[in-house]
Amino acid sequence: MKLQGHFSKYSGINTIQSGANNGIKCSFKCLKTDDCKLALVKEQNCKILNECMPIDYNHTNFVLIKKMKKSSRMNSSFTLKMNLSGHTSSALSLAVLNNGVLASGSGDKNIKIWTPDNGCEIMTLKSQSGAVWSLAELKNGDLACGLDDNTIEIWNTKNGSKKMILSGHSGMVLSLVILNNGDLASGSEDYTIKIWNTQNGSAKMTLNGHTNQVRSLVVLNNGDLASGSYDKTIKIWNTNNGSLKLTLLGHSGMIWSLAMLHNGDLASGSADHTIKIWNTNDGSEIISLDSRSMTAYPLVVLKNGDLVSGFNDGSITIWNTNNGSIKMTLLGHSARIRSFVVLFNGDLASASDDGLVKIWN
């Protein structure tokens, strides 16, 4: 009988130095077990797991081996690690919490909390108020969720309780970001940006200036706030006094996404089928990337400085922003990419209208 399989290995925070033979033996044991999904190697022991089981990452020494389908192995430089399935509608938003776990928001009105190392679902937070368009972790570890009923919910992710509802927008809350002082900024379909005190739920100020919905927010290196809008502009705000410092003009289509590069430049994705890189000091355009006749919906920057863009056909492109060249294209999703986040270990998580969250190595 010939056995063949593909495995990925993940390690706990306090991982032991298990010998290679132990891992190989445990992999073979998993192959021989029809319903094996995970194999846990601890010291000389091998435990076969046929269902998703939470692991205590802070106190358990382990090496976790996950069985993969052959179709999930992409190439020598990039691998699809796993699919996180559980949402019954589009996966719209992602956030990494301070303990390394992953949160995903969906059109099914649920927020799911996952351990990205093994794909275990820790809990489901049931909003019941609307689709979850945006997520952001507050400095105290709570999770803010922007909804299509015009509100923001604040959740305690340790016990799954809803702590607070922030009301004030008159349109869907499409984007959230945490400012350097811990305040929460929200961009809305109502054309405004609001700054919130998350201790008492009060709105500290409202930034007016956009003439269409505010789709993306990002904090710049100097603490200023950049906002991208369907009005085709990017605005840079002083959040201390609410003043508008700069408006970046150059896109001919709606702006969907913003991302901060490591060198302080700003990337923007637009419906004009370009991704532009901007100098945020003087508002000048540095380079324009041709996004293959498609709109770049989400953008994110990897730990090595490369820029990642997601498109409506489900493809993901990785760019060298120094020369504008495409380094790699990842295929796997079957519908529009909605959100990205970079995990603590450098892996990429992507959320899509196909309802899946994928973890890429």
Q: Contact at 8 Å (CB) between 173 and 134?
A: yes
Per-residue pLDDT of 225-266, as tens digits, reads 999 999 999 999 999 999 999 999 999 999 999 999 999 999
Ordered alpha helix ranges (H), the chain: 20-31
Euclidean distance between CA atoms 273 and 160, whole angstroms: 40
Domains and CATH numbers, the chain: 6-72 (no CATH), 80-360 (2.130.10.10)
Position 41 scores a pLDDT of: 73
Taking residue 127's Cβ as centre, other Cβ atoms within 10 Å add up to 21
Closest C-alpha among 117, 90, 116 to residue 103: 116
**Distance (Å, whole) CA 301 – CA 342:** 8
Residue 251 CA to residue 216 CA, distance in Å, equals: 15
Q: What is the pLDDT of residue 354?
A: 97
- The three-class DSSP label of residue 20 is helix
- pLDDT the model gives residue 306: 95
- 243-252: long-range contacts at Cβ-Cβ below 8 A with a sequence spacing of 24 or more? 244/207, 244/209, 246/280, 246/283, 247/209, 247/283, 248/278, 248/283, 248/285, 249/283, 250/276, 250/278, 250/285, 250/288, 251/276
Question: How does strand 274-278 pair with strand 266-270?
Answer: antiparallel
Cα dist from 165 to 123, 126, 161, 200, whole Å: 20, 14, 12, 10
Kindly tell me if the per-residue pLDDT of 54 is higher than 60.
no
| φ, ψ at 8 (rounded to 5°) | -115, 145
Confidence class of residue 129 from pLDDT cuts 50, 70 and 90? confident
Mean pLDDT across 82-101:
95
Confidence of residue 1 (pLDDT cuts 50, 70, 90): very low
Residues with Cβ within 8 Å of residue 12, at least 6 apart in sequence: 55, 57, 60, 61, 62, 63, 64, 117
Residue 286 reports pLDDT greater than 60: yes
Q: What is the pLDDT of residues 177-226, one digit of tens each?
A: 999 999 999 999 999 999 999 999 999 999 999 999 999 999 999 999 99
DSSP code, position 27: H
Give pLDDT, residue 117.
Answer: 81
Torsion angles phi and psi, residue 145, rounded to 5: -130, 120
pLDDT score of 268 more than 60: yes
Return the pLDDT at 73. 40
CA distance 319 to 336: 19
Q: Is residue 35 over pLDDT 80?
A: no
43 pLDDT band (50/70/90 cuts)? low
The pTM score is: 0.82
Say whether pLDDT at 288 is over 90.
Answer: yes
Residue 5: phi and psi, rounded to 5, are: -160, 165
User: CA separation (Å) from 164 to 1, 100, 111, 139, 200?
Assistant: 59, 23, 16, 15, 9
Mean pLDDT of the chain: 87
The residues with which 39 forms a beta bridge, in sequence order, are 48, 65
How many whole angstroms separate alpha carbon 15 and alpha carbon 27? 18
